[in-house]
């Protein structure tokens, strides 16, 4: 008789419940840094998420004077205790939605999020269809290529002569 170890030895019906609880606790622990990032953003985080209106690159890559002013604005807002969302909202009010590095996830901008996945799906489907079609065509051509059809008598005679000369 084998001894059971762990949770299943005590109560086999509790094991799935405990696994779910542990999974939820793990998710909460991993979500804490994201929540902290929203409440207490850093300049480094926001520099990668905000665009320079002049050179159209993120602030961490821009050396334009307006980028320096935006960095200074962000630093002041962080010191004032604003959240990441509040700072972004104030920047959008000043510079428009193009100041954000990632497009919004609603309206027409939703296409920027959905279209790449649609393109990947369509591309995978086309490749699968082409592979299926190619494999079916090759199966249909196989008997003819394997010698199933008649050979020209002159060609067969020349082949026999060559083989006889090779063997002899």
Instruction: Quick: pLDDT tens for 59-100.
Output: 999 999 999 999 999 999 999 999 999 999 999 999 988 899
d(CA 43, CA 78): 8
* pLDDT for the residue 106: 75
Residues 31 and 48 in one domain: no
126: in domain: yes
Domain count, the chain: 3
Alpha helices of 80-152 — where are they, by DSSP H? 84-95, 110-143
Q: What burial class does residue 48 get, using C-beta atoms within 10 Å of its C-beta: 0-12 exposed, 13-18 middle, 19+ buried?
A: exposed
Q: Which domain holds residue 85?
A: 40-102
133: in domain: yes
* pLDDT for the residue 3: 52
9: in domain: yes
Grade residue 130 by pLDDT with cuts at 50, 70 and 90.
very high
- Crossing angle of helices 14-39/84-95, nearest 10°? 50
d(CA 64, CA 52): 8
Grade residue 26 by pLDDT with cuts at 50, 70 and 90.
confident
* pLDDT for the residue 71: 94
Is residue 152 over pLDDT 80? yes
Tens of pLDDT, residue by residue over 43-55, are 889 999 999 999 9
Nearest residue to 41 (alpha-carbon basis) of 4, 84, 97, 102: 84
Residues 34 and 52 in one domain: no
From residue 53, how far is each of 4, 76, 91, 124 by CA, in Å? 64, 19, 11, 37
Residues 47 and 59 in one domain: yes
* pLDDT for the residue 139: 62
* pLDDT for the residue 4: 54
153: in domain: yes
* pLDDT for the residue 12: 65
Q: What is the mean pLDDT of residues 7-22?
A: 70
With beta carbons less than 8 A apart as the criterion, state whether 18 and 7 touch. Answer: yes
Determine what percent of the chain is predicted with pLDDT higher than 90. Answer: 42
């Amino acid at each position: 008789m084998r001894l059971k170890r762990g949770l299943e030895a005590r109560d086999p019906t509790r094991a799935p419940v405990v696994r779910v609880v542990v999974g939820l606790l793990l998710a909460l622990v991993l979500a804490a840094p994201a929540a902290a990032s929203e409440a207490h953003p850093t300049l480094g985080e926001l520099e990668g998420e905000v665009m320079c209106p002049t050179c159209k690159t993120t602030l961490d890559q821009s050396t334009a004077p307006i980028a320096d002013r935006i960095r200074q604005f962000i630093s002041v807002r962080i010191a004032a205790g604003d959240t990441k969302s509040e700072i972004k909202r104030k920047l959008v009010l000043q510079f428009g939605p193009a100041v954000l590095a990632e497009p919004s996830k609603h309206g027409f901008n939703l296409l920027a999020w959905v279209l790449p996945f649609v393109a990947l799906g369509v591309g995978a489907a086309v490749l699968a269809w082409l592979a299926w079609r190619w494999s079916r065509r090759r199966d249909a051509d196989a008997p003819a290529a394997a010698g199933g059809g008649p050979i020209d008598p002159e060609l067969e005679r020349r082949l026999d002569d060559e083989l006889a000369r090779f063997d002899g």
